[in-house]
Structure 1
Amino acid sequence: MQSSHAAAAVSSAFDDPNLIAYGGLEPVVRLAERCGLPALVGEYIRLPASKDGTGAFPAAKVMSLVGGMVAGADSIDDMHRLRHGAMGRLFSGVRAPSTLGSFLRSFTHGHVKQLHAVARRFLPELARHAPLLPGADQVAYVDIDDTIRRTYGYAKQGTGYGYSKVKGLNALLGIVSTPLAAPVIAATRLRKGPSNSARGAAAFVAETIRTARACGANGLLVMRADSAFYGADVVNSCRALGARFSITVRMNASVKAAIARIDEDAWMPIKYPKAVWDEEGQCWISDAEIAETTYTAFTSKPKKQQVTARLIVRRVKRLSTGTVPAGQGTLFDTWRYHAAFTDSPLSLNDAERDHRRHAVVEQVIADVKNSAFAHAPSGHFQANAAWLALAALAHNLTRAAGALAGTFHARATTATIRDHLINVPARLARSARRLTLHLPERWPWSTDFTQLFSIVHAPPAP
């Protein structure tokens, strides 16, 4: 590629009032309105009245924040992107960044809980209007994990050093996915940086499972988590709501003893990275093997809190025959062991493979951190908690737009959806009291954009 004109023949000027940088934001905002987001905000968020009007018109302010995040904003100042060119003619009620910042800083813990209530009700509406979770009536997965959002300086409330030895805030996410669908965020919590991962996990798991059920996950529902969430309260919370669990266990003495009791003939090779299929033996030749045994967990708890289920173990050959971790003995001289405690009804091979797919939550965390939650933008803790909840709303709304656009964008990251379908330059024209978005000729993803646009502007089903 090279310039087609001499440098002196090219000039620039920011002088066209009819241009828009985010033409795809219009159908996304229309989708949010069709799913009732402004009405939910008006019903559930009750900010106190003030002389400066901070608590007034919460629906317009939430829609401005979510719209900005969908367009790529990752800080309060980034909301300026909604106030350029013809945006004021295409959208009404867009608020200035200073107003939005004051709005967020007015949030208390109770107001953040109100925003969580909005999110819990909005996601099932999205699932009803878009093929967001296909196959959820057969099988679905809830994945729980937390992450540290790094912060800098000393002005932010709640920051501290957590398990990763990084100074920041602790964000807890609960996601829902199916084998056919990309994950959406069902619940969020922002916690102080030094918070233990499992703090409040049982209630959080219950909330995520209930939201998943409301989204149509009425078949097999499996909650997956890593060893930080291995506890009697989390497991029993799943069982109380009719969900299955699959949780990585810590290698304590009783787990090691259970692994030692597994007969050597019970181990079977699995398809693992670098595994080779042996035609003659009709099996995988791999350095990974799996087996299972029955295990009773939480024996130090009262009898009613103890749980007996399957202990699924994967072992991988050690690359080094050097020092074995203390306390593991000769059992671990050759193999590294990874165990999951589960009551999954699937076969051993399927249950073990499904548990490894818990890593999908890391993709969501990376996606959110590369978009709206790239920063914790405020010095106020509750403002950042509200920002995280709004980032989840924007993530789910973007996913729903991608699902309506077509099969490719239904599985794409939000960054890809934003680049292909939302950040589309457009020129706004008015004729006969009708607005028209003139979009670039030969746009590579025009078919998917047109499909999304047509669906959200079609008359609603009776």
Structure 2
Amino acid sequence: MQSSHAPTAVLAVFDDPTLVAYGGLEPLVRMAERCGLPRLVGERIRLPATANGVGAFPAAKVMALVAGMAAGADSIDDMDRLRHGAMARLFGGVRAPSTQGSFLREFTHGHVKQLHAVARRLLPQLAAHTPLLPGAASIAYLDIDDTIRRTYGYAKQGAGYGYSKAKGLNALPAVPSIPLAAPVIAATRLRRGASGSVRGAASFAAEALRTAQACGADGLLVLRADSAFYASEVITACRASGARFSVTARMNASIKRAIAGIDEDAWAAIRYPKALWDEEDGCWVSDAEIAEVRDYTAFTSRPKKQQVTARLLVRRVKRLNPEAQVQGQGELFSTYRYHCAFTDSPLSLVDAEKDHRRHAVVEQVIADMKSGPLAHLPSGDFQANAAWLALAAITHNLMRAMGTLASTFHTKATTGTLRDQLITVPARIVRGARRLTLHLPRNWPWSQAWRQMFAALHAPPHR
């Protein structure tokens, strides 16, 4: 590619009032309105009335924040990207970044919980209006995990050093997923940086499970988590919600005794379709062996009613590096590395173990959010950041729903890809015959998917 004109023949003037840079925001906002997001915000969020009117019109401000995040904003100042060209002709109620920042700083813990209630009610509406979770009635999974969103300086309220040894805030998402579609976000919670992973996880898991069930996951629903959530409270909350669980078990003395009791003939060889990177041994692993203990009782140090009996799935990988052998644990643990999952899944050993390893899908969602709105926690106020996290989850779900209406490819694309191909589409606004027309670029590579999404969202709603 090269310039087709001499440098002196090219001029650039920012003077066209009919252009918008994000033509894909029109169908996204229409879908949010069709699924009732402004109505839910108006019903649920009750900010105090102030002299400057910061708490007034919360629905308009939430919609502007969600639209800005969908367009790529990862800070409050970035919301200014909504105020250009013909955006005021295409949308009403776009607020200045300073207004939106003041709005977020008005949030208290109670207001954040109200925003969580909005998100919980919006997701089932998105699932009802779009094929967001196809097949959820048969089998679905809910993955929970936490991550440290790193912060800098001294102005971030609640920041501290957590398990990653990095200073930041602890974000906890719950991610429903099915084999046929990309995962969405059922619930979020922002915690202080020094919080333990399992703190509050039981009530959080129960809340997320109820949301997943409201989305149609009323068949086999399995909660998956890593060893940080291996706790009696989490598993009890899961069972009380009518769901199954599959949680990585910590290697303790009881589990070592259970592994030692497995007969050598009980091990079955498996081969991974794709090799896994073993961080401890520093090599790729594609072969392993699996076995199970049918009736393993966990949490035996707890009272009888808090103990849980279920299956213990064990995977062992032969150590290839003699120098990496663990010393002082006996021959059993010097020859193999063991990984255990505690579960009451009704699936076979091979399928249950394979499903548990797919828990890593939650990491993809966390990475997706960190490459978008969660690239920063924009405020020094803790509750403002908690509201920002909840809004980021709402935006994620809206974009996922858009992708399901566009094409099969966009159903599983990352939100970054959805933003580039469906949202960031330049358009010229023309008014005539009492309607607005969006003139989009000729030969846009994803025009067919965009048209399909646009037509679905402008068709009369189903009764």
TM-score normalised by structure 2 residue count:
0.96
Counterparts of 1:31-430 in structure 2, within 5 Å, are: 31-272=31-272, 287-294=287-294, 295-430=296-431
Give the letter for the 2:326 counterpart: P
Aligned counterparts of 2:292 and 2:457: Cα–Cα separation in 1: 49
Residue identity matched to 1:397: L
The letter of the residue matching 1:236 is T
CA–CA distance in 1 between the matches of 2:274 and 2:454?
A: 44
Q: Which residue of 1 aligns with 2:19?
A: 19
**What displacement does 1:332 show?**
1.3
Query: Does structure 1 conserve the Cα–Cα contact (< 8 Å) formed by 2:271 and 2:287?
Result: no
Q: Contact 2:74/2:373 (CA < 8 Å) preserved in 1?
A: yes
Identity among equivalent pairs (%)? 74
Rounded to whole Å, the distance in 2 between the matches of 1:387 and 1:326 is 47
Deviations 1:273-330 (A, max 9, x none): 567xxxxxxxxx9531111113110111111111111100111111211253355321
Q: Which residue identity does 1:300 align to in structure 2? A: S
Letter in 2 for 1:460: P
TM-score by length of 1: 0.97
Give me the CA root mean square deviation.
1.1
Query: Residue in 2 aligned with 1:30?
Result: 30
Change (3 A) 1:42 1:286: closer
DSSP-derived class of the 2:145 partner? strand
Contact 1:226 1:247 in 2 (8 A): yes
Question: Structure 1 pair 343/327, CA: closer, same or farther in 2 (3 Å)?
Answer: farther
Letter in 2 for 1:448: A
Distance 1:187 1:324 in 2: 40
Deviations 1:120-153 (A, max 9, x none): 0000000001100011000000000000000010
**In 2 relative to 1, CA 86–355 (structure 1 residues): closer, same or farther, beyond 3 Å?**
same
- Which piece of structure 1 moves more, 82-91 or 425-434? 425-434
Aligned to 1:15, the other structure's residue is in SS state: coil
State whether residues 327 and 334 of structure 2, in contact with CA within 8 Å, keep that contact through their aligned partners in structure 1: no
8 Å CA contact 1:108, 1:382 repeated in 2? yes
Contact 1:269 1:286 in 2 (8 A): no
Q: Distance in 2 between matches of 1:151 and 1:138?
A: 41
Q: Which one-letter code corresponds to 2:389 in the other structure?
A: L
Deviation at 1:11, TM superposition (A): 1.4
- Count of equivalent residues: 453
Residues 229-275 of structure 1 show CA distances to partners (whole Å, capped at 9, x for unaligned) of 00111111111111000000110000011011111111111121567
How big is each residue's C-alpha offset from its partner over 1:351-370, in whole Å with a ceiling of 9 and x where there is no partner?
00000000000000000000
Distance of 2:383 and 2:327 partners within structure 1: 43
Answer whether contact 1:77 1:97 (CA < 8 A) is retained. yes
Q: Post-superposition shift, 1:398? A: 0.4
Structure 2 Cα separation of the partners of residues 218 and 360 of structure 1: 21
Alpha-carbon distance in 1 for matches of 2:328, 2:210: 41
Q: Residue type matched to 2:399 in 1?
A: T
The answer to whether the 8 Å contact 1:19/1:86 transfers is yes
What residue identity is the alignment partner of 1:449? Answer: W
Contact 1:169 1:191 in 2 (8 A): yes
SS at match of 1:316: strand
Q: Aligned partners of 1:324 and 1:298: how far apart in 2?
A: 28
Partner SS state of residue 287, structure 1: strand
Whether the 8 Å contact between 2:325 and 2:335 is mirrored in structure 1 is no
Between the aligned partners of 2:274 and 2:362, the Cα distance in structure 1 is 24
Partner of 2:282: none
Contact 1:142–1:222 under 8 Å retained in 2: yes
- In 1, the alpha carbon distance for the partners of 2:324 and 2:185 equals 41
Aligned with 1:50: secondary structure? coil
Q: What amino acid does structure 1 have at the position aligned with 2:412?
A: R
Which amino acid in the other structure matches residue 251 of structure 1? Answer: M
